[in-house]
Amino acid sequence: MILVKSVSWGVWARDEIFAQSRRALRFARVTTGKRVLCRAKKDMRLCFAKTLWLWPRVRSPPRVRSPPRRRRQKSGRTFDTRYYTRGVIVAKRLLTTVDHAPDVVDLTYVYPVVSRRAGGVSIGVNLNPNNACNWKCAYCQVEGLVLGAGPKIDLEKLERELRLMLHDVQEGDFLARSAPEGARVLKDIAFAGNGEPTTSPDFAASVEVVRRVLADTGLLGKLPIVLITNGTQVKKSDVADGLKALATMNGRVWFKFDSATEEAMRRVNQAPGDVYTHLSKLRAAASLCPTWIQTCLVAWDGAPPSEEEQAAYLGILETLVKEGVSIRGVLLYSAARKSAQPESVHISPLTEGWLRAFASRIEATGLEVLVTP
Ligand code: SF4
């Protein structure tokens, strides 16, 4: 608006100067007095000089660039609007503990869930939008699960989405609109999603993106970060770097360890490899970052894990405790959400009573157990 006014003023001034010049010339022609003629010539020179000064400014007005927009947040921090698109994140359905599908919002990498174990809202980072995992657990709720690895990540997009999500949770009314009462609190950020996050070649870089965003929003070190993993990649150097970085930013690993016998591991997780290799990876994870064991137990064709399976599991935990492996505890749960795999016909959740009874046997090894029925 200011620019338009300046241009129109300039055009008017230019025309006025020309008109004045013309008037002065006409006046000079019709007068004979030398003094008057000299004054007219002086006016003309002055007008001409003014025209020369003004002309280039009128023809090419300077480009006006708006300064970057920075808005002050309620909390007093400054929010850089380069990363913010107007509007809010709309959840397509109310968040619940039984629906953790990332398509609840129209984003590629970031999605909100209500987590039973966290007891509030968890912001998921999905590094497997291609639904690829190197395991194929019978209880997995990922629809269209394929065997494979996570893809390369568009890190700028991940950063943009995470900033947008956190802004709407912290400064907007996302929780009030989308989460049920009693769960309207942000609990953590979780690398989870539709596959194994550490199979993505950009896992470590994604951890750095999360660090940057949390640092800018004042949440670094305050908001826990969880890596939910089957642990198969932890010995790869870039994944190990990611775990080390997580350890410095209030991160923790939830390491999947469901079965203590190869037969059960193949049946429940359809995982290649053997139990002892898996345990060596658990030790490696625990040496890099605070690690919890997460164990999902299910009834297979109506039967809970056999006594032999239970004893093997407890024996392994005892060994780990004796070795002094730094395990923070065990997260014990059953299949609460509906499996999307064909093997789902064989599985059913265990009762809370069964889980609690088994938890007390685990506690006898000296480890803390958190049961989520
Ligand atoms: S490891 Fe996780 S993502 Fe992969 S199949 Fe098992 S439950 Fe699904």
* Beta-strand relationship, 327-333 and 291-296: parallel
Residue nearest to atom 7 of ligand 1 (CA): 140
Mean pLDDT of the chain: 84
* In a shared domain, residues 145 and 268: yes
Residues 371 and 334 sit within 8 Å (Cβ to Cβ): no
230 lines ligand 1 (CB under 6 A): yes
pLDDT in tens, 79-129: 444 444 445 788 888 898 888 888 888 899 999 999 888 889 999 999 999
> Which ligand 1 atom lies nearest to the CA of residue 133?
4
137 lines ligand 1 (CB under 6 A): yes
pLDDT at 26 over 90: no
> Which ligand 1 atom lies nearest to the CA of residue 269?
6
Residue nearest to atom 8 of ligand 1 (CA): 140
136 lines ligand 1 (CB under 6 A): yes
Give the Cα separation of 184 and 177 in Å (integer).
Answer: 9
Residue 61: what pLDDT?
Answer: 44
Number of compact structural domains in the chain: 2
- In this structure, is residue 38 part of a structural domain? yes
* In a shared domain, residues 50 and 177: no
* In a shared domain, residues 158 and 293: yes
* In a shared domain, residues 137 and 259: yes
286 lines ligand 1 (CB under 6 A): no
Residue 57: what pLDDT?
Answer: 46
**Amino acid, single-letter form, for residue 321:** V
Higher pLDDT, 71 or 178: 178
> Which ligand 1 atom lies nearest to the CA of residue 228?
2
- In this structure, is residue 68 part of a structural domain? no
* In a shared domain, residues 27 and 122: no
Q: Where are the beta strands (DSSP E) in the chain?
A: 70-72, 78-80, 110-115, 120-126, 132-133, 146-147, 186-192, 225-229, 251-256, 291-296, 298-300, 327-333, 347-349, 369-372
Residue 40: what pLDDT?
Answer: 54
142 lines ligand 1 (CB under 6 A): yes
Could you tell me the residue range of the domain that residue 264 belongs to?
Answer: 78-372
Residues 6+ apart with CB under 8 A from 177: 88, 91
Candidate from 127, 131, 133, 139 with most ligand 1 atoms within 8 A of CB, to mutate: 133
- In this structure, is residue 153 part of a structural domain? yes
Q: 205 is written with which tokens?
A: 């870089």
* In a shared domain, residues 240 and 326: yes
CATH number of the domain that 295 lies in? 3.20.20.70
pLDDT in tens, 259-282: 999 999 999 999 888 899 999 999
Give the Cα separation of 347 and 314 in Å (integer).
Answer: 22
pLDDT in tens, 128-177: 999 999 999 999 999 999 999 999 999 999 999 999 999 999 988 899 98
Share of the chain above pLDDT 90, in %: 64
Q: Which of 197, 189, 324 is nearest to 255 (CA)?
A: 197
* In a shared domain, residues 52 and 161: no
* In a shared domain, residues 223 and 194: yes
Residue 142: what pLDDT?
Answer: 94
Going from the Cα of 65 to the center of ligand 1, the distance in angstroms, rounded, reads 50
Beta bridge partners of 9: none
* In a shared domain, residues 318 and 212: yes
